[in-house]
Structure 1
Amino acid sequence: MIIETLIAVTFVSAVVVALAPDEWAGRLAFALSLLPFVGSLYMWSQFEAAGNALTGGGIAFETQADWLEVGGYTLQWFVGVDGISMPLLVLTTFLVPLAILSAWTPISDRISQFYALLLFMEANLLGVFTALDFFVWFIFWEAVLVPMYFLIGVWGGPRRKYAAIKFFAYTNLASLVMFIGFMALVFALPVETFGMPAITAALAAGEVEAFYGIAPDAIRLFAFLALFVGFAVKVPMVPFHTWLPDAHVEAPTPVSVLLAGVLLKMGTYALLRFNFTMLPEEATALAVPIAAIAVVSVIYGAMLALAQQDLKRIVAYSSVSSMGYVILGLIAFTEYGVGGATFQMVAHGLISGLMFMAVGVVYNATHTRMLSDMSGMADRMPVAVGVLVAGAFAYMGLPLMAGFAGEFFIFVGSFGSPVAGGLMPLFTAAAMFGIVIVAGYLLLAMQKTLFGPFSLATDYEVGRAPVRDVAPLMALLGAIILLGVAPDLFFEMIRDAVADVVAGGVN
């Protein structure tokens, strides 16, 4: 029951930190956050399961027990991991301690409550990536929203209340749409459980029945669209992306790190688990509009980033662009496409976390994020700026970094995809143009702020960043390079898990 142990330890840690004095809360939270990280590393080292947990493949560290009987359905405590969820579990437990470490300087009010909410959010994220019963999964999914709302609304910037309410309204409404779609699907199936593997098997066997006179094909299509829209808001995809920049700009640095690094991956993970695994026929039938949305997200997100003058907004809009690549890989329904999309979730989590953290270090020193307010930061903060430049090149897809590996897998898989009536090479070529725009806005931002003669519009003395600020940056950069040099640390287990998804989509 190691999964239950990880979740329980994280919940208890949140309570302990909430009760601790403010002066000890940061160090205590960091120490306790290492426990789930060590546990996830142990799970990774012992991981042997092959296949997809929802399609009859191996489920590692599985626990299944009946919980409640409700309306003829058995609700179960059902958790486990496969090659899709294992990398995301490690990513979550790795980013949280680093986010906590990055918060020691900027957070000075209600410190114990802040760190407790971070740990509470981590516990629910672990549940999202391990739950295999829809009801349990949905509880964790919704519970993640609560700490994020307060983390933005209490500790955020000047417009924090607006950003927090907008975030909660968008994502909560999206959850309602998704829930309606999934329940419509379940009620049309002859199942007595909310277990995702059982529902996937029933859908694969074509057991959807007419419901209140609605044809089975119409039910499947409605469910797919409702799920897709619900998860598209969380990703976010264009045109559902407008909540993201406001949330990022107002959120404190550690919250932005976890929002971009992990919470956005909830959307793409759910799309893979539900839309592309459970309803592959509907996905391939809608491959052209989905691929088009992916390309629009890539190009439009990059163009929006190019137009920004705030460093944090630049990184925020770049996440919209990067998630477009993930959607393109998923709709390809090839081993390298779907596998590359899953790998890119991890790679982007590391790179975006590094970028937001580095921008936070610069802001702590200068108290501004505007491109026009500063220049020549490289002379005053050489180490922090060096890591920021390295992170920018990782975003551009520099070889031997995780971003390059993820994008390369996606492009290889999508270019040779059999879906979308032979149009995938065109969609892939259009999406690859986004790399040029990414390089443009990142190089422009670095040139304006990091190089040239030193200039600062605010009256602050800028010097070398302290070790406590640089240490988490170096850890993230090391992980990015490690996965870029040795992508098979995760990619082999991912390929085993996505094989059944690919088969379901092309058959």
Structure 2
Amino acid sequence: MIIELLLAFCLIGAVVVFVLPDEYAPVGALTASLFPLVTSFVMWFGFDGSGNAFLEGGQLAYETMVQWISLGPYAINWHVGVDGISMPLVVLATVLTTLAILTAWTPIDERRSQFYGLMLLLEAGLLGVFVALDFFAWLVFWEVVLVPMYMLIGVWGGPRRKYAAVKFFVYTNLATLVMFLGFMALVFGLGDSVSTLDMPAITQAIRAGELGSLAGIAPGTIKSVAFVAMFAGFAVKVPIVPVHTWLPDAHVEAPTPASVMLAGALLKMGTYALLRFNFTMLPDVAADFAPFIALLAVVSVIYGAMLALAQQDLKRIVAYSSISSMGFVILGLVAYTEYGLGGATFQMLSHGLLSGLLFACVGVIYNTTHTRMVGDMSGLADRMPVTTGMFVAGSFGYMGLPFMAGFMGEYFIFQGSFAADFAGSMVFTAVAMFGIVIVAGYFLYAMQRTLFGEYRLETDYTVGRAAVHDIVPLAVLVVLVIVLGTAPNIFFDMITDAVGPMLGGGL
């Protein structure tokens, strides 16, 4: 019942913080976030799962299966558990939530109780997505995440917060509808083969060839249409070019803590769902579409990097870099090799930490200078040496500096994608690798303009050292990035154990 305890800590914490007076909300929220954080670490250290949760023979950790309700011929169960893919993402979500709450202490000065309560509710939704194994429960958690993020952007965001919040909500909600139709087509096509919306049971039935015709449509066509529908729905959440335009607007208008959660954890919902639904349920269709998906991945890598290179707003630079990084994840998934799939999952972790670090750094700079424009400042290194060091560390981590998490994620992906057997895999990989050069270009440009050189600030605000509570999240994230980069097997072993069965073996 530890997963239920984990979710309960988030929900109870959210309710308690909602009713706290504003002056006690920051400390109350930080304290409340420590309970799920500690619980996730207990789960990680005690993890004894093996194999893949969605495939036959997989041994789930902390599994609970309880009969719930019936919807027509389908049983809806409370079915939760974790394997080597979901366990690292659970830890990532709890770590980022605690650190994001700490980054909010300086910038959030109104409606604090509501803000921190929504952050904890957001954490509950994220964790539910990563642990739910019944589609109905999974979909509830998937949709729950939209509500707090919409409000965090729409209430505490920048001047165009309402536009950004509505755009975020409309894009992702329509995408969910498309995804839902695709998945239910598979369920109806299975007919009497399944009597539940349990995702592992549905996956195993599809892979066993039990999908039949539906309304006269051949099983092969149903699988292809469902794959495209689910891919399109999840691609918006990732996001992949060309359905990425909501992300920069959301990031620019969102408060720093929301940006940390959006880039660090919410985007992983999309890549996690692609791995579970498209590439686990329908691997044969994924193989058919592999060159096209690889093309989308490479376009996202290069186009996202080029857009970042053209930006003057530090937040937009980091936002577009996330699109580029998610392109690497898609390339690893479509490679469908053990290092490709394992590297894609590992890259979700490394990007979560690195993007969270960089958005937190930008937030600290903005708290002090009240500007994010590259042309408005320079020479901040002398006035903010610690923040500068953290920003430089995060930037080099993004560039793939060895012994940092970003390097290991990209290395695993490139090794896996070079070994892929679809047409043009080596060419796609080589082009994607060039994206790292562009990444270096825009981060070096941003650092040179804002951090170094003669001090200059086009505002009247006094620049000094950041508060300790602003620096602590940055320091923790830098340490985690280095630890994950120097000892990747603390997660990579369990990841490869979970992705190996997708291919019929292990590393």
Shorter-normalised TM-score: what interval?
A: over 0.9
Q: How many Å apart are 1:503 and its aligned residue? A: 3.4
Amino acid at match of 2:124: A
Q: After TM superposition, list the pairs within 5 Å mapping 1:380-459 onto structure 2.
A: 380-418=383-421, 420-421=422-423, 423-459=424-460
Match in the other structure for 2:86: 85
Match of 2:298 in 1: 295
Report the AA paired with residue 366 of structure 2. Y
Residue matched to 2:162? 161
**Identity percentage over the alignment?**
67
AA of the residue aligned to 1:11: L
Letter in 2 for 1:250: E
Contact 1:67–1:76, Cα closer than 8 Å, also in 2: yes
Query: Letter of the aligned partner of 2:287 in structure 1?
Result: T
The 5 Å alignment of 1:362-373 reads 362-373=365-376
1:10 aligns with 2:13: no
List alignment gaps of at least 5 residues for structure 1. Answer: none
1:48: how far off? 1.5
Tell me if structure 2 keeps the 8 A contact 1:401–1:484.
yes
Task: Specify the code of the residue in structure 1 equivalent to 2:59.
Answer: G
Give the corresponding residue for 1:69: 70
Q: Which of these residues, 332, 336, 339, is aligned with residue 335 of structure 2?
A: 332
1:399-447 CA-to-partner distances (Å, cap 9, x unmatched) read: 00000000000000100112x23x1111100000000000000000000
Instruction: Tell me, in whole angstroms, the C-alpha distance in 2 between the residues paired with 1:213 and 1:409.
Output: 43
Alignment of 1:280 with 2:257, yes or no, is: no
Give the residue type in structure 2 aligned to 1:444: Y
Q: Does the Cα contact within 8 Å between 1:338 and 1:502 map onto a contact in 2? A: no
| Secondary structure in 1 matching 2:230 | helix
Query: How big is the alpha-carbon RMSD for the aligned residues of Structure 1 and Structure 2?
Result: 0.9
Cα distance, 1:182 vs. partner? 0.3
Q: Give the aligned partner of residue 144 of structure 2.
A: 143
Q: Could you tell me the TM-score, scaled by structure 2's length?
A: 0.99
* Matches for 1:5-404 after TM superposition, within 5 Å: 5-56=5-56, 57-189=58-190, 190-404=193-407
**What do residues 94-149 of structure 1 show as CA deviations (whole Å, max 9, x unaligned)?**
01010000000100110000000000010111100000000100000001000000
Equivalent-residue separation in structure 2 for 1:117 and 1:97 (angstroms): 13
Instruction: After TM superposition, give the deviation of residue 502 of structure 1 in Å.
Output: 2.7
Corresponding residue number in structure 1 for 2:491? 490
Instruction: Using structure 1 for the length normalisation, give the TM-score.
Output: 0.99
Distance 2:9 2:458 in 1: 46
Partners of 1:69 and 1:329 in 2: CA distance: 38
Structure 2 letter corresponding to 1:125: L
* Residues in 2 aligned to 1:30 and 1:175: alpha-carbon distance in whole angstroms: 32
AA matched with 1:192:
S
* CA distance in structure 2 between the aligned counterparts of 1:253 and 1:197, rounded to whole angstroms: 37
Partners of 2:37 and 2:470 in 1: CA distance: 20
- How far the C-alpha of 1:264 sits from its partner, in A, is 0.1
Q: Which runs of 5+ in 2 are unaligned?
A: none
Distance 1:238 1:54 in 2: 28
Q: Deviations over 1:348-377 (max 9, x none)?
A: 000000000000000001000001100000
Q: Any idea what SS the aligned residue of 1:188 has?
A: helix
- Matched positions, count: 503
Deviant stretches of 4+, over 3 Å: none
CA distance in 1, matches of 2:135, 2:71: 14
Letter in 1 for 2:15: V
3-state SS of paired residue (2:372): coil
Structure 1: distance between partners of 2:204 and 2:109: 51
Q: Secondary structure at the match of 2:504?
A: helix
2:480 corresponds to which residue? 479
Aligned partners of 2:231 and 2:483: how far apart in 1? 33
> C-alpha separation between the residues in 1 aligned to 2:110 and 2:207?
52
- Match of 2:194, SS? coil
CA drift of 1:500 comes to 1.6
Q: Separation in 2 of the partners of 1:321 and 1:300? A: 7
